[in-house]
Chains A and B, each alone.
Chain A
Amino acid sequence: MGDTRSSAAVITPQTAAASHDAAPRPAPPSSTERDAHRRRAARKRSAKNWSLFLLFAGPNIALILTFIYYPLIRNMEFSLLNWRLGSPRATPIGLDNYIRFFTSPSGLEVWRITGIFTAGAVVGSMILGLLIALVLNKKIPGRTFARTAVFSPYVLSGVGVALVWDFIFDPNRGALMHILAVFGIDSPAWKLDADWNLVMVIIVYVWKNLGYCAVVFLAGLQSIPRDLIEAAMIDRAGAVRRFFSITLPLLTPTVFFLFVTNIIFSMTQAFDILRIMTPTGHGTNTIIFEIYLQSFGQYQRAGYSAAIAVVLFFTLFVITAIQLRYVERRVHY
């Protein structure tokens, strides 16, 4: 940019005149004088650039600092307090909140539920997404429409989706009960049993998320050179063999990418489904739901909730850092 600016100054009359105004040159200046001039001009230009920069980017930066960075630090402060939301009194208790989250039975239960939910959500949506992508990768007419339709749940309101599925899972009137009955299967106690509750929200999350995986897998599949597949076909490798020896190895970057993003998504984005389908978190209090329930639910344990939020942040930070440093560099898209 610096170069373009000076070349412009030479060519156009207005800017050339302006630059003369800024730095009127006496006949042959000594080298130190010229340096001083240059420095002053540079400082002036940099001050002007900074004010422009702040005019353009300042509001956004201020908002990010106020509503993302400041709360991040405030949260760490809260996490060291024994403090109920709305109460004026708060006593410092050191790392007790963290210790409780990592050792108490209720804290460990949150970890267990988060682990199962994340594993189920990630594995479920990735396997189904891959299967759909493999089918959509066939050259058959209408696949563009199918791709769009499969992706669509991903953009729909989680609250709306959860309401629909809540009805479908209803033990007395739900469509699923009738469908399972056709196959002679008794509906499990979806809403009464805590474990089935968890299975239920995983199914809904996978339904909403698998289109995303399918589209990303499809892009990965389409970047695989056709000649490799064709060569394997000439060698009479079967479809299964072709998949495991050619497609899957070449797809590893996509698999890695989806694996990491899906872990992050499933840990943060499932809140609306959980809140609507299991309002009080019966067997479904994953880490994100627990943060909400502890501070804004019935308990109002703001300090404890803040500690969980800090743990969540660092967990996600580590996952993202691994992705950026390791995955992005080693595998190429």
Chain B
Amino acid sequence: MSHEPTTAPRPGSGTNAPASLTSSGRPIPPARAEWRKAFQPRNLADTMLAGYLPILVALLVIVLPLVWMLSSSFKPLNEIVTLSPSLLPQDPTAANYETVADRVPLLRLLRNSVIVTAVGGFVKVLLAVTTAYALVFINVRGKNIIFLGILVALMVPAEVSMLPNYMTISALGGVNTLWGIILPGLGTAFGTFLMRQHFKALPIELFEAAELDGAGHLRKLWQIAVPVSTPAIATVALVTIVNEWNSFLWPLIITDRVDTMTLPVGLNLLRSIEDTTSSYGILMAGAVLVIVPMLIIFAALQRYIVAGLTQGAVK
């Protein structure tokens, strides 16, 4: 478990001992020890060729398309259709963003996406927390069967239900409405599952103490379960936000008027009416608008998002 074999260097592998101890004999911080070790002359070639070179290649493959998107979105038309494109715009312009706003009501699409994401995300997290609480802490017979039903629902991809859901929502008058976009996705099997696993691991003493004070379930939920579970709730919330923001198929089906579309659906529309080479600048501006918000959220809070999206894999 120790980071490095700092003590008792093995005979024959005397590379690490001097580097990992300061002159006073105290161990130096692992990060710095690692840094020194990686850049020792002996390890330098390995660090560079087997470490940084492949990472650099991978990062280029990941990052270059996004840089290309960002730069193209600021390029004037003559730099888009040129035969010798450059990575960065020579003459940056915001014209593409103005054109997007001209072709589709951009602010309207953004507003719709924000509303759908915020409302959908909030309600789903709320339902996940209350359902998981009930499944763990309220004693009723057959709740394991109910949980099993929720687990099976987790396996049903939304795409399988879309045709009947389209009939239901259109019968309720939900075509081309924001609630029509939000409602069918509100039931949350994933969030419930994640929160249940978390609640099950909470120390029971917390709740017993509250019961001694005569707390009912509502108070136990809001004053104990929720406050001690903020990281888990953040995980569910962020994963839900990412999914709601990126959601495409259902909003595509349920809206055909541009004023109720979400951003991805609006961009699909833009793609179909701007199907020429010269429109790539406009399309890149649209791509920036739908990609960058999640990129920022991810950069800031990636720990929780990764934890949620790889749930089940890492135990």
- Residues of A bordering B, CB below 8 Å: 1-2, 4-5, 8, 11-12, 14-15, 46, 49-50, 52-53, 56-57, 59-64, 66-72, 74-75, 78, 85, 131-132, 135-136, 138-143, 146, 148-161, 163-168, 170, 172-173, 175, 178, 207, 211-212, 215-216, 219, 254, 257-258, 261, 268, 271-272, 275-276, 279, 288, 291-292, 295-296, 302, 305-306, 309-310, 312-313, 316-317, 320, 333
Contact = CB atoms under 8 A, between A and B. Distances in A.
Contact of A141 (B31, B128, B208, B271): B31
B259 interface: no
- Main SS of the interface on chain B? helix
Interface residue range, chain B: 35 or more
B290 A57 contact: no
Given A53-B134, A60-B127, A60-B187, A150 B58 contact: yes
8 contacts: A12-B214, A64-B189, A70-B168, A139-B34, A140-B38, A150-B58, A155-B295, A157-B245
Interface in B140-165: 140-141, 143, 146, 149-150, 153, 155-157, 159-165
B277 interface: yes
A139 B141 CA distance: 51
Nearest to A67: B184
Contacts of B295: 152, 155-156
B310 A132 contact: no
By Cβ-Cβ distance, the 10 closest A-B pairs, closest first, are A63-B187, A71-B161, A71-B164, A56-B134, A74-B164, A57-B134, A159-B264, A64-B187, A160-B291, A160-B290
Interface stretch (B60-68, B88-96, B227-235): B60-68
- Main SS of the interface on chain A? helix
Contact of B268 (A64, A150, A159, A215): A159
Given A71-B168, A156-B295, A272-B264, A257 B313 contact: yes
A139 to B, nearest CB: 5
Residue among A52, A155, A207, A295 facing the most chain B CB atoms (10 A cut-off)? A155
Given A152-B295, A158-B246, A272-B264, A75 B310 contact: no
Contacts of B163: 71, 74-75, 78, 85, 295, 302, 305-306, 309
B140 A167 contact: no
Interface in B180-225: 183-189, 192, 204, 207-208, 211-214, 217, 221
Contact of A153 (B62, B192, B252, B280): B62
A154 B314 contact: no
Contacts of B272: 279
B192 A132 contact: no
B130 A56 contact: yes
Nearest to A59: B127
B211 A61 contact: no
A320 B156 CA distance: 10
A301 B271 CA distance: 25
A261 B154 CA distance: 13
B241 to A, nearest CB: 10
Given A67-B185, A164-B65, A291-B160, 12 more contacts: A4-B211, A8-B211, A11-B212, A12-B214, A60-B187, A61-B149, A68-B156, A148-B302, A163-B267, A212-B309, A215-B310, A333-B313
